[in-house]
Amino acid sequence: MKYKDQMGRVVELGSAPCRIVSIVPSQTELLYDLGLENETVGITKFCIYPDRWFRSKQRVGGTKNLNLDAIRALQPDLIIGNKEENTLEDILALEKEFPVWMSDIFTLDDSLEMIRDLGAITEKEKEAKRLVKQIQTNFTQLSKPKKRISVAYFIWKDPYYMAGTQTFIDAMIDACGLENVVKEERYPELTPKHLEEADFLLFSSEPYPFKPEMKAELENVFPNKKVVFVDGEYFSWYGSRLKDAPRYFENLLKELIV
């Protein structure tokens, strides 16, 4: 069977994969929720969900520094990666030896397409369809704020970088009814203009681990600004975690509106 991935590449498989290596955390969690316990043989050191897999599955390095020899030893019949999270060098090396299916995600629709596609490839179409429907329903029921609330979403420190347009984070900011003041593409550095326009500064738990204990420090750096800490997994994980994201967003909006 031939499948086209989200980068437009054709991936050919002889049959449904039974030895899968996932090199993206959010997609690893998706494989678990699709019921691919036995088929998934390798994950990265950042694939912390589910905890049981993290403790028992073979780890093959980090998303951007894969242990190619460890992957080769597992003899996968499918590797599942992502354009942004994995390096081109690693993917080019792996695809010479194994089928590699790549996601490329900017929007919620991209995520749902990825879930459907992987459901088809792994013969878990029924489970994928059910998950997609649940995610769509939950987002439809999300109550958005009636007034404009503008935010700047921080992903890094020293220097400060934020999520701009053409990112999945930006799509999630929009999905919960907030306005991203960062209009530049991808991940630009902070400017005074961003601070001036933002009602709230959102500090994400990943990739930089901003923590509530840093509140005093950040309020000192950004005086007269409202600092809020957010769970980055709900804004940037595009697999099955999406089914719980609307509930998280509802609670976040209550915090911002008060």
pLDDT digits (tens, 9 = 90+) for 197-213: 999 999 999 999 999 99
- Is residue 236 predicted with pLDDT exceeding 90? yes
Percent of the chain with pLDDT over 70: 100
Query: Has residue 144 been placed in a domain?
Result: no
Domain closes at, from 138, 158, 177: 138
Name residue, tokens 């003899």.
Answer: 75
Give the range of the structural domain holding residue 247, as residue numbers without chain letter: 150-257
Residues 248, 161 share a domain: yes
The CATH number for 110's domain is 3.40.50.1980
Residues 184, 71 share a domain: no
Instruction: Look at the chain and report how many structural domains it folds into.
Output: 2
Residues 247, 176 share a domain: yes
Residues 133, 197 share a domain: no
pLDDT, residue 258, reads 67
**Segment 175-232, tens digit of pLDDT:** 999 999 999 999 999 999 999 999 999 999 999 999 999 999 999 999 989 999 999 9
Contacts from 47-52 at CB under 8 Å and sequence distance 24+?
47/22, 49/25, 49/241
Query: Has residue 36 been placed in a domain?
Result: yes
Name residue, tokens 């049959």.
Answer: 15
Name residue, tokens 């709900």.
Answer: 234
Cβ-Cβ contacts under 8 Å for 119 (sequence gap 6 or more): 34, 125, 126, 127, 128, 129, 131
Percent of the chain with pLDDT over 90: 97
- Is residue 257 predicted with pLDDT exceeding 90? no
Q: Which amino acid is at 128?
A: A
Give 109's Cβ-side CA count (13 Å radius): 0
Handedness of CA 187, 131, 47, 102 (dihedral sign): negative
Residues 130, 159 share a domain: no
